[in-house]
Amino acid sequence: MPQPVQYRGMSLIVPDNDTEWKEFYAHARAHRLVVRKCAACGLLRYPPTHACPWCMELRFTWQELSGRGTIYSYEIVHHAIQPGFKELTPYAVVLVELDEQRGRPTPDEALRIIANLLTPDLRPEAEERVAIGKRVRVVFQDLADHMALPQFTLTDEPPQGRVWRLP
Amino acid sequence: MKGLRDKYCLVGVGETEYSRGSNRTTRALAVEAVRAAILDAGLTAIDVDGMLDYQSGDSTLANHVAPDLGIRLNFYMDVMGGGSSTEALIGLAMGAIEAGMCNTVAIYRSMNGYSEFRIGGTGARAAQPVRGLDLAQVPFGMRSAGQNFAPTFLRHMYEYGTTSEQVAHVKVAHSKHASQNPKALLKDRVTVQDVVGSRWIVKPLHLLDCCLETDNATCLIVTTAERARDCRQRPVSIMGVAGRVSKPRLDFHWAHGPITRVAGYYAKDIVFGQAGIGPEDVDVTGSYDAFTFTTMLQLEEYGFCKKGEGGQYVSSGVIELGGRRPNNTAGGHLCEGYTHGMSMVIENVRQLRGTVDDYCPKAAEGVHTYDYAPGRCRQVKDAEIAMNLGWAMPPLGSALIMRR
C-alpha cells in the first residue's frame, strides 16, 4: 500500500510486505468479507495469519463469507481514548460470531470478528438496540482506494439464542 | 510440573511513593526503588549481581539503573511486557541463579504511568500508528485495556448472571484496605452505590471499576534460601511460580472460547502442582485488579470458588480484611496505585513477614492490633501462605505462591 491511511486521527499502516492484511483489505474494498482457508485441513481463520493455527500449513486460499453472524458480546464506549472517536460516543464495539465454522474444530471455537455496530448508513447504532444474540450482517466502510473496514449492522432475522443487554 | 519449591526466597522489597506527578525520570524512580529493596534486605550493591525489569517502551533499562547504584552485573535482561510479568520474572530470576549465571537478582518496574506515558491509553499511546494484528481491533475504537477486556466481562454477566453490584464489592474491599495504608493514593472507603453510580467508561465498566494511573517504581529481590538466611528480614519462600501462561490463539483470543475463561485455567495446575497445596490452604491473595472484574475472574478460575460463582465469592466478605482470605490488602491497583503487578507481591511479602506498613505504631517490629477500622491495622493475623494471580489480559496470566 502506498501510504498510511488516515482514519479518525489514526495512521493505519499496511506495508507492501504485509500480504495478510493487504489482500484482506483489497477484498474488503471490493465489499467482500474474506478469510484465509487452509489448503491442507480446510479450516477458516481470522485474523489473516500466515500459517494455519491447527495444522501449521502455509498454503491457503481466500474464501468469501456470507457476512452473516450473531453478536456474541459487546461493549459500549462512553469515554473514548482515541481523540477521533470522542464525537462518536457512546459507540458500540461488537464481537460477532460468524455463521461459518461455528463450534469447529472444537465446540468452543468459532470465527469471530471485532467491529463497530453501525446503522446501514454507517453511523453508530443506538445503544438500546445493541444486545447479545441479535443477528447482524457485514457492511463496508470505505477508507481509501485500497482499503475498507468490515463493519456490521442489525438485520431483521430472528435472534439466535437468548437476547440480553446490560441496561 | 516439577519446581524448585522452597529453594528460593524473596528477601527485599522496595518502592517509591505513589503519585500523580513524580517530577523525576523513570531512571530516578527505578534507582530509588532498587536502593530501597537492597537496604530492606540488608544487602549492599556488591551483593546484587543480577537484574531484570519489564516495560513497554515507557521506562529506563537496567544498564542505566544498575551503574547508578554501583552495581556490576553478571546477568541482566530487559523484558517487554506489562501485567503478569512480575511473577514470570521471579521465575526467571530463580532460573538464572539455578543456572549459575548469578547469585542475587533485583527485579524492578518503573513508570510515570500518569504524568508521562499514560497507562490508560490516552496521549502518546493513542497516537501510535496502527499496524499488524492491531488492525483487527484498534480501528474500531478498541485500544485501551478496558476496551480490550470489556467483552469478556460482559459475556460473564450474560453466561453466569454476574452483576455490577457483585463485582463492585472488589472496589469496596480494596478501598477498605487502602484506608489502612499510608502510601495509598485513594484512602477513602467507598460503597457499592458509589461504584455503580459512577459514570460509564466502557460498559460494563464504571469509572470506579477501573484502576488508577500512577507514577511509581517498585523492586523485589530474589536469592537462594541459603543466602536468605543471612539477610535482614525474615525470608519468604517461593513455593511455586507460573509465568505468562496463555490460552490458545494469544494473537486473537476471541477465536477460542469460552471467552469467559482466563489464563488461570492453564496456570493453576502448574503453580499448585509445584507448591503441593490447593486454594483452601491460601491465607491471603493478590488477584490483579486492573479492573474489579479481573480480580473476580481470576479468583474463580484458580478455584477459590466454582467457575461462574466469582460474583458471589467477591461479594461475600471473604476477600475483605477480617474475612477468610483477604485480597490485595494494600488496596491494590484500584486504590493504592498502579504498578503493573509488583505492589501486590510486595504487599504479600510484607504480610508473610508480619510487618505490613499500616498505621500501627510498631508495625515494623511486627506488632499489630488487628483492628480493621479506618486508619488502623491491615495485617492479616498469622498469614502463612500467600498467592499472587497476575493478569496481563484474559488469555495471559502468571501466578506465584509464597510461604513464611
pLDDT band at B206 (very low <50, low <70, confident <90, very high): very high
Report CA-CA distances (Å) from B172 to A81, A147, B177, B178, B297: 26, 47, 9, 10, 17
pLDDT at B402: 98
What's the number of CA atoms in the CB half-sphere (13 Å) around residue B391?
27
pLDDT band at B195 (very low <50, low <70, confident <90, very high): very high
Instruction: Report CB contact under 8 Å: B135, A83.
Output: no
Chain B residues in contact with A8 by the CB 8 A cut-off are 139, 141
- Percent of chain A surpassing pLDDT 90: 98
pLDDT at B220: 98
Q: Are strands B8-15 and B215-224 parallel, antiparallel or unpaired?
A: antiparallel
Helix axes B145-160, B292-301, angle to 10 degrees: 50
Once rounded to an integer, what is the mean pLDDT over residues B185-201? 98
pLDDT, averaged across chain B: 97
Which domain range does residue B393 map to?
8-117+212-403
The 3-state DSSP class for residue B346 equals helix
Q: Is the pLDDT of residue A1 over 60?
A: no
Please name the member of B141, B200, B251 whose beta carbon is closest to the beta carbon of A82.
Answer: B141
Instruction: Report CB contact under 8 Å: A78, B200.
Output: yes
- Percent of chain B surpassing pLDDT 90: 96
Please name the member of B130, B152, B202 whose beta carbon is closest to the beta carbon of A10.
Answer: B130
pLDDT digits (tens, 9 = 90+) for B355-373: 999 999 999 999 999 999 9
pLDDT at B125: 79
* Rg, chain A, Cα only: 16
Can you tell me the distance from the alpha carbon of A127 to that of A131, in angstroms, rounded to the nearest whole number? 9
Can you tell me the distance from the alpha carbon of B285 to that of B389, in angstroms, rounded to the nearest whole number? 8
pLDDT band at B126 (very low <50, low <70, confident <90, very high): confident
Residue B204 lies in a domain: no
Instruction: Report CB contact under 8 Å: B151, A73.
Output: yes
Once rounded to an integer, what is the mean pLDDT over residues B145-152? 97
Instruction: Report CB contact under 8 Å: A73, B154.
Output: yes
Mutation site, B196, B199, B200, B203, interface A, largest A CB count within 10 A: B203
In B18-116, which residue ranges form alpha helices assigned H by DSSP?
Answer: 26-41, 62-65, 85-98
Can you tell me the distance from the alpha carbon of A60 to that of A39, in angstroms, rounded to the nearest whole number? 5
Question: Distance, in angstroms, between A112 CA and closest chain B CA?
Answer: 6
pLDDT at B2: 78
pLDDT at B1: 64
Mutation site, B138, B140, B261, interface A, largest A CB count within 10 A: B140
Q: Is the pLDDT of residue A17 over 90?
A: yes
Helix axes B292-301, B264-275, angle to 10 degrees: 60
Q: What is the CATH number of the domain that holds B392?
A: 3.40.47.10
Q: Which helix (H) or strand (E) holds B152?
A: helix B145-160
Residues of B catalogued as catalytic: 288, 338
Please name the member of A46, A91, A109 whose beta carbon is closest to the beta carbon of B141.
Answer: A91
pLDDT digits (tens, 9 = 90+) for B220-235: 999 999 999 999 999 9
pLDDT digits (tens, 9 = 90+) for B330-345: 999 999 999 999 999 9
For chain A, helix (H) and strand (E) counts, in that order, are: 1, 10
Please name the member of B132, B139, B150 whose beta carbon is closest to the beta carbon of A75.
Answer: B150
Q: What are phi and psi of A139, to 5 degrees?
A: -135, 155
Instruction: Report CB contact under 8 Å: B257, A91.
Output: no
Q: What would you measure as the largest C-alpha separation in chain B, in angstroms?
A: 55
Closest-CA residue of A relative to B249 is A53
The residue type found at B218 is: T
Once rounded to an integer, what is the mean pLDDT over residues B71-97? 97
The sign of the dihedral angle between the CA atoms of B234, B318, B207, B139 is positive
Q: Is the pLDDT of residue A159 over 60?
A: yes
Instruction: Report CB contact under 8 Å: A74, B136.
Output: no
pTM of the model: 0.97
Chain A residues in contact with B198 by the CB 8 A cut-off are none
Chain B residues in contact with A95 by the CB 8 A cut-off are 151, 254, 259
Please name the member of A12, A82, A116 whose beta carbon is closest to the beta carbon of B143.
Answer: A82
pLDDT at B128: 86
The CATH number of the domain covering residues in A5-154: 2.40.50.840
Residue whose C-alpha cell is 549492599:
B44
pLDDT band at A2 (very low <50, low <70, confident <90, very high): low
Q: Where are the domains of chain A?
A: 5-154
pLDDT digits (tens, 9 = 90+) for B154-166: 999 999 999 999 9
Question: Distance, in angstroms, between A156 CA and closest chain B CA?
Answer: 22
Strand partners, B396: B246, B393
Q: Which of A55, A73, A108, A167 is nearest to B247 (CA)?
A: A108
CB-CB contact of B74 with B106 (8 Å): no
Instruction: Report CB contact under 8 Å: B131, A112.
Output: no
For chain B, helix (H) and strand (E) counts, in that order, are: 12, 12
pLDDT digits (tens, 9 = 90+) for B279-304: 999 999 999 999 999 999 999 999 99
The sign of the dihedral angle between the CA atoms of B14, B394, B307, A130 is positive
Strand partners, B75: B50
CB-CB contact of B90 with B400 (8 Å): yes
Mutation site, B128, B158, B209, interface A, largest A CB count within 10 A: B158
Once rounded to an integer, what is the mean pLDDT over residues A71-82? 97
Per residue, the 3-state secondary structure of B300-336, as one string, reads HHCCCCCCCCHHHHHCCCCCCCCCCCCECCCCHHHHC
Residue B24 lies in a domain: yes
Once rounded to an integer, what is the mean pLDDT over residues B116-124? 85
CB-CB contact of B242 with B222 (8 Å): no
Domain count, chain B: 1
Q: Is the pLDDT of residue B268 over 90?
A: yes
pLDDT at B236: 98
